[in-house]
């Protein structure tokens, strides 16, 4: 490998890191992969693997360094593991170049989407950096996600990069290449512009008939205070006081963020009674982030990251336990079988995954709660919607990530969940970003980070059922099947004669 190749790989990773929120440079992703594609041309399989690993190492480190604010060893383990996805992607692409020749560039969009899809599966999943998430500030370009999901947008982005690559490489048919590139931009934009206009009219009509007014409490409590047992009363009293103020806005639901009650709340009868009494006195349901536990038949404890819904007339809260846990932070993947945590400590918690897709019921409608990281899983969100959720709530505590890109990346990912299912989302974060997202992905009342504030708004209940909600990740699964077939054929196909 030449020094030029490493320069191209590093340059590509740097460009990619500029395309994600909070930077307003999403357009950079349209050509960010071009240097990487040039670097992969004609490479041996071993060199292609190295290129993919280094590309992943640099881009993941630049974009995900903020995870280290929560757990440094866990972050290192996660990033080293995530690099393998891009390493195998480039290895497979090099294999296809060797076996299929010049036309193999057509396979790259399928391979990339297949990689993103696989990265969303199993307990080691971390689908945070899908290419599509660079486009959340360009709503008119991503409305077709309601049909094919965010993976279709990633496919489109790789296609744009390939067009630029071909123009630069062959320097022939430049006018045709530019025309195709322009068409690929203009057609989604026209569709998105029309769809957004129609949706705004529908939302305005719907909000007059079926709506719910929600208050989001951004307590802005620092982790050092939040997790100090001496300040437990301060934590809970802060949110009780904010709830009483929010109730003056005539709201139908009040949201506290993830672990707003930083304890095993069901075991703290004094605070359980206080929160229940607050809900009753205000005559408003309160959704409270906290922890929970249970003891199984073998006498082992299972700990959960949970949400409790207190109702004015209820005697005991309805509970949801987080299903998708952050690997190497909230738990070690497959630790129930491997018991790695008995031997190795990466600074992780020891939570168990919840089992039930809980739908909360209040007088004004039904909703599901996504706790923190769960908003990055389109399949999980779709499952909640199919079970009857009429709006979504996302509670989180991004204080761990400080004043970095992390809270903004996390917040913007939820835009796709709203578009994919044409559903409203109320996002409540301890230190921000708290916000409302309408079914077209439009963000309203976004807060600044690390300020204490309360925001309220009316949101419409579920609009129409989308093709994506009905059929799920059909596009990504199709790309996976195509890639799987191409890889199998490539492994047995002879190298084409020159």
- What is the per-residue pLDDT across 335-368, written as a single tens digit (0 to 9) for each? 666 555 555 544 446 889 999 999 999 999 999 9
Cα 369 from Cα 262, distance rounded (Å): 18
Give CA–CA dist 67/226, Å, rounded.
18
Handedness of CA 159, 161, 163, 169 (dihedral sign): negative
Contact 82, 128 (CB under 8 A): no
Sign of the torsion angle spanned by Cα atoms 419, 425, 429, 435: positive
pLDDT at 297 over 90: no
Report which secondary-structure segment, H or E, holds 181: helix 174-209
398 HSE (CA, 13 A, CB side): 28
Q: By percentage, how much of the chain surpasses pLDDT 70?
A: 95
First to last CA, the chain: 23
Minimum mean pLDDT range among 133-137, 247-251, 282-286, 299-303: 299-303
Domain with CATH 3.60.110.10 in the chain: 212-464
- pTM value is 0.94
Q: Specify whether domain 212-464 bears CATH 3.60.110.10.
A: yes
Query: By C-alpha distance, which of 299, 358, 361 is closest to 323?
Result: 358
Q: What is the mean pLDDT of residues 235-246?
A: 98
In the predicted structure, residue 168 carries a pLDDT above the cut 50: yes
Average pLDDT over residues 78-105: 94
The confidence score (pLDDT) of residue 193 equals: 98
């Amino acid at each position: 490998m030449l020094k030029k190749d490493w320069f191209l790989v590093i340059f590509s990773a740097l460009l990619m890191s500029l395309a994600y929120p909070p930077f307003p440079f999403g357009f950079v992703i349209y050509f960010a992969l071009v240097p990487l594609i040039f670097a992969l041309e004609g490479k041996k399989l071993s060199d292609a693997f190295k290129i993919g690993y280094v590309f992943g190492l640099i881009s993941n480190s630049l974009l995900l360094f903020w995870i280290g604010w929560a757990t440094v060893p866990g972050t290192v383990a996660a990033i080293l593991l995530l690099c393998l996805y891009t390493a195998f992607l480039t290895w497979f692409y090099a294999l296809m170049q060797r076996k299929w020749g010049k036309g193999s560039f057509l396979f790259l969009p399928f391979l990339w989407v297949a990689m993103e899809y696989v990265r969303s599966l199993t307990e080691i999943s971390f689908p945070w950096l899908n290419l599509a998430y660079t486009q959340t500030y360009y709503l008119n370009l991503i409305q077709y996600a309601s049909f094919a999901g965010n993976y279709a947008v990633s496919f489109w982005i790789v296609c744009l990069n390939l067009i630029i690559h071909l123009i630069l490489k062959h320097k022939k048919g430049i006018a045709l290449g530019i025309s195709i590139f322009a068409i690929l931009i203009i057609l989604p934009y026209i569709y998105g512009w029309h769809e957004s206009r129609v949706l705004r009219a529908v939302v305005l009509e719907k909000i007059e008939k079926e709506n719910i007014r929600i208050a989001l409490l951004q307590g802005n409590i620092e982790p050092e205070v939040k997790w100090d047992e001496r300040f437990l009363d301060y934590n809970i009293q802060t949110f009780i006081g904010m709830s009483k103020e929010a109730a003056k806005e005539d709201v139908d639901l009040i949201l506290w963020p993830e672990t707003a009650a930083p304890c095993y709340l069901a075991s703290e009868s004094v605070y359980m009674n206080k929160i229940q009494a607050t809900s009753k006195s205000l005559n408003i349901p309160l959704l409270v982030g906290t922890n929970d536990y249970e003891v199984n038949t073998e006498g082992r404890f299972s700990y959960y990251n949970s949400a409790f819904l207190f109702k004015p007339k209820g005697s005991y809260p309805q509970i949801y336990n987080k299903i998708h846990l952050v690997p190497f932070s909230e738990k070690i993947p497959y630790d129930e079988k491997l018991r790695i945590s008995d031997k190795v400590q990466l600074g992780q918690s020891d939570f168990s995954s919840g089992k039930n897709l809980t739908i909360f019921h209040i007088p004004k409608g039904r909703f599901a709660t996504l706790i923190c990281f769960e908003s990055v899983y389109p399949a999980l969100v779709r499952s909640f919607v199919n079970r009857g959720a009429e709006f979504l709530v996302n509670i989180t505590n991004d204080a761990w990530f400080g004043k970095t890109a992390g809270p903004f990346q996390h917040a913007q990912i939820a835009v796709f969940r709203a578009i994919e299912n044409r559903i409203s989302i109320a996002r409540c974060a301890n230190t921000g970003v708290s916000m409302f997202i309408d079914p077209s992905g439009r963000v309203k009342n976004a807060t600044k980070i690390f300020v204490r504030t309360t925001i309220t708004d009316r949101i419409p209940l579920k609009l129409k059922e989308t093709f994506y909600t009905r059929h799920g990740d059909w596009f990504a699964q199709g790309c996976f099947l195509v890639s799987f077939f191409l890889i199998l054929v490539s492994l047995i196909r002879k190298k084409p004669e020159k």
